[in-house]
Amino acid sequence: MDDGDKISNEDGAPRDFPSLRGLIAARAARLPRRLGQVAEFALANPDDIAFGTAASVAQRAGVQPSTLVRFSQALGYQGFSDLQEVFRARLRDRVPSYDERLKQLRQHGGASKAGLMLEGFAEAAERSVAEFRVKADHAALDKAIDLLTRAETIYLIGLRRSFPVTAYMAYAMGKLGIRNILVDGIAGLGAEQIGFISDRDAVVAISFTPYASETVALAHAARGRNAQIVSITDSVFSPIAPLANVWLEVVEANFEGFRSMAATMALAMTLAVAVAERRGERG
């Protein structure tokens, strides 16, 4: 291995996929070109890494098999098969389908499953909020509030699972006198709903794994119109994170695969009220 390919990893190689993504993100600027090419392919095609051979993955990534080994060793792994195990573990830990989640719930015994569910969902909500309080980036939050305070109109984009959050923000901002547009995508009119967005406006875009394609597309369109963007998402590798002027990370806890929205809603309430307060301070 050339010295230029070596990246120190004092803490050892990550053994879970989120940690591996974080490591690559933190050191992406220092990766040599070929290793960066492998990193980009691996994160875009994790299933191919999990199931492929070194030869087949190298061919698809457009590199030599030896480059896969160098990439793996650069991140602290013994070789490609060692790295590959992290991608296989990701499949075992993937977000379960709704049928799988319900099956897990049915496996719990007891006469009253309603009480069990309430306890589980309440605990997940409490854990989400507690962890978010510890990990919240206050500097990024202040920057997001300042950006939204200066906006002429705030467009709220969050479809599918995230829609209840943007719907609440539209309600709260309306009551607080903040001009906003809720992009609900009804009748496929999402593109038309952001049709008048400009560089005087801001967007709050919200999406979590698995990311809503409509939200991603609308955020891209808003970025193309030079709107300021605040993204609320769960990873630096989220497709709406690199579009943002400011992105805020929220990772929700779950109960039997059903994720809480408690921390995200707390953040939404914070943004709405803080923007109103700051606008009041500025007269």
What does the pLDDT look like over 242-251, one tens digit per residue? 899 999 999 8
**pTM higher than the cut 0.85:** no
Q: Show the low-confidence residues of the chain (pLDDT under 70).
A: 1-11, 28-29, 91-112, 283
Pick the CATH number of 126-281 from 3.40.50.10490, 1.10.1740.10, 3.30.930.10, 3.90.470.20: 3.40.50.10490
Give the Å distances, CA to CA, from 3 to 8, 30, 55.
11, 12, 24
**Class for the domain spanning 3-92:** mainly alpha
Tokens of 255: 């109960």
The string of DSSP codes covering 103-162 is HHHHT--SS-HHHHHHHHHHHHHHHHHHHHHHH--HHHHHHHHHHHHH-SSEEEE--GGG
Closest CA relative to residue 277, chosen from 176, 171, 141:
176
- What are the structure tokens assigned to 190, written together? 């999402």
- Give me the pLDDT at residue 97, please: 58
Spatial CA neighbour of 104 closest among 112, 262, 161, 113: 113
Q: What is the pLDDT of residues 19-36, one digit of tens each?
A: 888 887 777 668 888 998
pLDDT given at position 10: 44
Give the Cα separation of 33 and 38 in Å (integer): 9
The secondary structure element, H or E, covering residue 232 is strand 228-233
What number of CA atoms fall less than 13 Å from residue 210's CA on the CB side? 7
**Could you report the per-residue pLDDT of 112-161, keeping only the tens digit for each?**
577 778 888 888 899 899 989 988 999 999 999 999 999 999 999 999 99
Single-letter amino acid code for the residue at 82? D
Report pLDDT for 40: 82
Domain ranges of the chain: 3-92, 126-281
